[in-house]
Amino acid sequence: MVIPGGVDFDSLDGEPVTLLFLIAAPNTEDNVHLDVLSKLSMMLMDEDFTKSLRAAKTPEEFLAIIDQADEEKKSVDERLADMGEAEADQFKILAVTSCPTGIAHTYMAAEGIEKAAKAKNCFVKIETRGSGGAKNVLTEQEIQDADCIIVAADAQVPMDRFDGKKVIQRQVSDGINKADELVELAMSGNVPVYHSGNASASSQSQNKAGGSVGHKIYTQLMNGVSHMLPFVVGGGILIAIALAIVIYIVLTKTTFGYELRACGANRHAARYAGIHDKRNIVLSMAIAGALAGAAGSLYYLAGNTEFYWNTYQTLPAAGFNGIAVALLAVNNPIAVIFTGCFMSILDIAGMQITNLTAYNEYITDVIIAVIVYMAAFSLVIKMWISGRKKKKPAHTETAESTAEPAVPQDETGAGVLPAAEGKEAQE
């Protein structure tokens, strides 16, 4: 899709986005969509290709340009592996690119460094460490012959093999936006030598390369994330179940939980009973925020998307689904486990059916909405019925209390007063 005026889409360079792609691929173990995305990201680094796309007048012409480029260009890994041999007087550059998810940015950085090196008539070989593992791995002989090595990565990269070589360490986005600067810096020779196992030299090298303290923390965090991905996918479900059980125990088996529930039911009555209502209200909001933060953390740790500091633009509207799940579970932490699974099954099944058939995805939203509304109405009806039952005994007691007591009568029908009252009447 071509957007003539452009739209703000959180691009790396901050410029408006004019080309938008929707990738539809079968859900197979081959991860076809990753291959398509990696190749498309490298094709988009070609300015002539992007200009042709923007100039396309019809959808057919747009698709024809993509098909032609797809046929002419090799796959990402094949093209990077076929770099030829270096000439005797050529400046030799090796590079390693990697990002936490290893899909787009890994190959975009590789493309940027390749183009910048060729523009300076340098020999370059690039190792990509993407979602499919390390490709085009650098050999020991190539490392020994290299004049400089560029590491543009936000994930773990084996660095011991570069001991004693000039190494530039930068974040992966610099390989995309500042590839020319990296190549010029490599050719200038003003690059620190990397020493494996020497913490001070390694730290000095990273500081000279321009990495900030925040980026170092981010890199270490993403390194841990990359290694934890296989465990987090299944572990996230176990963590969610464990949290639900802990919340249930706290709410039903502790004094603190009783105070929270009391303030939720009626804060005025709770205050009358000696409970600090304001404190408990603030604590309940803090706990809710912590649980929401845990859900967002598990979402990113599961590798669903690349990490951005402005997460508010990339995090899905899962909070609204949480409201529906809690409402359907009648605010019971244990029931939330089952209602959450139920809602997820509906959502995922709807997406799969939409991909395979002409089923409209919004039908799933309608079904979920109907279930939520029925659950809400059931609570309203239950409250209304209980209120009616309470009113009936109250009316009966009022009628009995306002009725005049019957006066006993004798055989002739005359009223007979009690003995005490008769005695007073005689007096």
% of the chain beyond a pLDDT of 70: 68
Confidence tier at 313 by pLDDT (50, 70, 90): very low
Kind of pairing between the strands at 123-130 and 167-170: unpaired
pLDDT given at position 343: 83
Whether the full predicted model's pTM is greater than 0.85, yes or no, is no
Q: What is the DSSP letter of 409?
A: B
Q: What is the mean pLDDT of residues 312-326?
A: 66
Which comes out higher in pLDDT, residue 308 or 25?
25
% of the chain beyond a pLDDT of 90: 6
Which residues lie below 8 Å from residue 419, measured CB to CB, with a gap of 6+?
none
Confidence tier at 195 by pLDDT (50, 70, 90): confident
Q: How far is CA 95 from CA 13, 107, 186, 211, 225, in A?
A: 22, 12, 11, 17, 23
pLDDT > 90? residue 222: no
Q: Which of 92-101, 202-211, 411-420 has the lowest mean pLDDT?
A: 202-211
Beta strands (DSSP E) in 108-165 are: 123-130, 133-135, 148-153
Task: Round to whole Å and give the CA distance between 260 and 267.
Answer: 9
Residue 6 backbone phi and psi in degrees, to 5: 80, 160
Which residues lie below 8 Å from residue 135, measured CB to CB, with a gap of 6+?
77, 80, 81, 127, 128, 129
pLDDT given at position 325: 84
Q: How far is CA 345 from CA 246, 315, 338, 348, in A?
A: 24, 20, 11, 5
Interval 115-170: pLDDT, tens: 888 888 888 888 888 766 778 888 888 898 889 999 988 877 888 888 889 999 88
Task: Round to whole Å and give the CA distance between 278 and 273.
Answer: 14
Mean pLDDT (the chain) is: 75
Beta-bridged to residue 415, according to DSSP, are 409
